[in-house]
Each structure stands twice: as C-alpha cells, then as structure tokens.
C-alpha cells in the first residue's frame, strides 16, 4: 500500500494567494506597475494594449496572461475597456517562481474548450470564496488588537472558509497546468537538494549576517563547490541570491505592511536604513518609499 511520506511535492510545491478578483478597466485607465508576486489574468470581454517588460502586447477575450514577479506592466489608456479575472499569488517550486522556471509566455490565447470553461468556473468560484473569506476576517477582527504582539486569534469559521478557498486554489493550479501542459517539459526538472536547502536556510535567517562559508557549511560543501552549484542551478552566486532575496522581501513588506523603512531594514538583516535605501535604489531605480507609493496607487490590477 502506497503511503505519501515526506517528499519533494509536500515540501516544495507551494501556492499562496494574495487576491482573486473579477476586474474591469475603463478606457481612461492608465498605470505602470510592478508587483513582487505572480499575476494571472483571464480576459473575458474587450481588449487592452499594454507594455510588458518593454514589449507591446494586446490582450483580448480568451487570452490568458501571466506576469512573473517583478514584471514591469504598463497599461495604456484610450485603447478600449476590458473585463477579466485576476489572481495575484506566489506560485513556487521551492523558492523558484513556477512561471519563470517553466518559461511560460506572457500571453497565451485559449481557444474555447471544456478545459478553458472549467478553469473559468473554478476561477469564478475562487473569487466568491475569496470575498467570503475577506468578509469573515473583517467581521471577526477585534475592535482592539491583542495586547501581546505574539498572539494570533484563530476562528473556526475563518479556518473552514480558508480551507475551502485553498481547495479551489489547488484545483485552479491543476487546471491551469493542464491547459499549459503542452508548454511543460516531458522530462522531470532536476533540483540539487543542497541548493534548495541553502535557499531555505537563507529565507529563515534573512535577518542575520549571512556569510558564504556559513552557507557552505550548512550543507557540508566547500565554498567553491556551493558557488558552482548555485551558478549551475540558479544562474547566480549564493551572495547574489541573498541580495535578491532581501530586495524581494523588502518589496513584499513595503506592499503588505506598514513597517517603517528602518524596521524593514532590521528585518532583512541591515543595521543601517541607508544600506537598504542605497541597495534598493540601485536594484529598482527608486527609493523604498517611492516603490511603496507606486504599488499602493496601482493595487487594482
């Protein structure tokens, strides 16, 4: 009898939803945006011209659009209105973005089919479940926050609603990958578990000084061997990965929290706020506060 013990699939295949919405953009809407999460659209009415990472795309009814984390998206006004289903999520295999890992295209026309209709149905039900969860969380929110910052409150009804949403989200992911199956490799992807283990270690110790010899020692490798494996697997060195992970977490905290830049600096392992501000400016071409203002002004994607 088969027993699913601790395995790659349990540990590494992850999906975390930020929002699921049914959206409308009028002809006058215009925005440039860049989110630290994967964005998926399914257009069901109208068309829209956009610039994605400098390349022009025209989305129309029946198109599935996929924007990996940190994709620069420019929506151009004056080209018509559009209605679409939207999902913002972290779709990951380990610490790697699934859309980027598989090299999935930004725009895929989906011909009318039973598979597409099933995806639409699951997506619409997910929108309803997400709205229901939001209403429950809002209604159960206490008038005053717990006096102990380490205290979390778990409500049975919220938990049941959340589990229902999670079930739909995994159905969505299964149907999405079924539709995209022709673009996925037949041969299995191969991951060096030592690289993945170091990535996990970095994520859990992001607020600490991280040295290359410490990372190599965590998986009992020499510094040169670990560096070789990282470049071979991820295309960058371990310390470059640390820097990117810190910038990524900074973006998420700027988007989803009210933490000050100083608090964020400490949370990602920089003693001085100026360190974070300088590195963020170099990486993103704007200050952390400018990024926060920009992303909050364009949350209606």
pLDDT of residue 9: 58
Helix (H) / strand (E) element for 162: namely helix 156-179
More confident residue, 5 or 252: 252
Helix (H) / strand (E) element for 58: namely strand 55-60
Name the CATH superfamily housing domain 193-297: Homeodomain-like (1.10.10.60)
In this structure, are strands 38-52 and 73-75 parallel, antiparallel, or unpaired? antiparallel
Round the average pLDDT of the chain to a whole number and report it. 88
Contact yes or no for 267/256 (Cβ under 8 A)? no
Query: Residue 301: is its pLDDT beyond 70?
Result: no
Mean pLDDT value of segment 116-131 = 96
Task: Give the separation between CA 295 and CA 301, rounded to whole angstroms.
Answer: 10
3-state secondary structure 144-155: CCCCCCCCCCCC
Confidence of residue 213 (pLDDT cuts 50, 70, 90): very high
Residue 163: DSSP 8-state: H
Confidence of residue 144 (pLDDT cuts 50, 70, 90): low
Task: Give the separation between CA 300 and CA 24, rounded to whole angstroms.
Answer: 9
Q: In residues, how long is the chain?
A: 301
Q: Which of the listed ranges 30-39, 153-162, 189-198, 212-221 does the model predict with the highest average pLDDT?
A: 212-221
193-297 and 8-142+156-183 share a CATH fold: no
Confidence of residue 169 (pLDDT cuts 50, 70, 90): very high
pLDDT of residue 192: 85
Contact yes or no for 199/229 (Cβ under 8 A)? no
Query: Residue 185: is its pLDDT beyond 90?
Result: no
Q: Which of 5-14, 82-91, 132-141 has the lowest mean pLDDT?
A: 5-14
Q: Which residues contact 116 (CB under 8 A, 6 or more apart)?
A: 62, 110, 179
Residue 143: DSSP 8-state: S
What are the domain boundaries of the chain? 8-142+156-183, 193-297
pLDDT of residue 146: 58
- Reported as a single tens digit per residue, the pLDDT across 243-269 is 999 999 999 999 999 899 999 999 998
8-142+156-183 CATH, one of 3.90.1150.10, 2.60.120.10, 2.60.410.10, 3.40.50.300: 2.60.120.10
Please choose, from the candidates 62, 110, 52, the residue with its C-alpha nearest in 3D space to the C-alpha of residue 84: 62
In this structure, are strands 38-52 and 63-67 parallel, antiparallel, or unpaired? antiparallel
pTM score:
0.85
Query: Residue 20: is its pLDDT beyond 90?
Result: yes
Task: Give the separation between CA 147 and CA 178, rounded to whole angstroms.
Answer: 47
| Residue 152: Cβ-neighbour burial (10 angstroms; 0-12, 13-18, 19+) | exposed
Query: Residue 35: is its pLDDT beyond 70?
Result: yes
Q: What percent of the chain has pLDDT over 90?
A: 56
For 75, the token pair is 């929506």
pLDDT of residue 6: 59
Query: Which neighbouring-strand residues pair with 55?
Result: 52
């Amino acid at each position: 009898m088969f027993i699913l013990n601790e395995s790659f699939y349990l540990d590494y295949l992850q999906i975390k939803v930020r929002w699921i919405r049914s959206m409308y953009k009028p002809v006058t809407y215009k925005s440039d945006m860049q989110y630290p999460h994967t964005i998926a659209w399914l257009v069901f009415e109208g068309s829209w011209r956009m610039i994605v990472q400098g390349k022009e795309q025209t989305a129309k009814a029946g198109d599935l659009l996929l924007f990996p984390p940190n994709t620069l998206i420019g929506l151009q006004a004056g080209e018509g209105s559009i209605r679409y289903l939207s999902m913002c999520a972290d779709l990951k295999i380990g610490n790697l973005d699934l859309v980027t890992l598989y090299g999935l295209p930004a725009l895929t026309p989906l011909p009318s089919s039973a598979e597409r209709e099933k995806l639409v149905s699951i997506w619409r039900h997910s929108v309803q479940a997400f709205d229901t969860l939001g209403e429950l969380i809002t209604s159960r929110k206490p008038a005053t926050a717990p006096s102990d910052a380490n205290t979390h409150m778990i409500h049975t009804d919220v938990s049941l609603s959340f589990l229902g949403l999670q079930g739909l989200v995994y159905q969505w992911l299964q149907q999405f990958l079924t539709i995209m199956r022709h673009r996925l490799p037949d041969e299995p992807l191969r991951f060096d578990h030592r690289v993945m283990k170091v990535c996990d270690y970095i994520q859990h110790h992001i607020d600490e000084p991280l040295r290359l010899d410490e990372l190599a020692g965590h998986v009992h490798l020499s510094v040169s061997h670990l560096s070789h494996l990282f470049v071979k697997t991820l295309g960058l060195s371990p310390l470059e990965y640390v820097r990117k992970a810190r910038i990524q977490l900074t973006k998420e905290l700027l988007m989803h929290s009210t933490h000050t830049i100083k608090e964020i600096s400490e949370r990602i392992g920089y003693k001085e706020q100026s360190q974070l501000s300088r590195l963020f400016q170099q990486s993103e071409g704007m200050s952390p506060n400018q990024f926060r203002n920009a992303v909050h002004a364009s949350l209606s994607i």
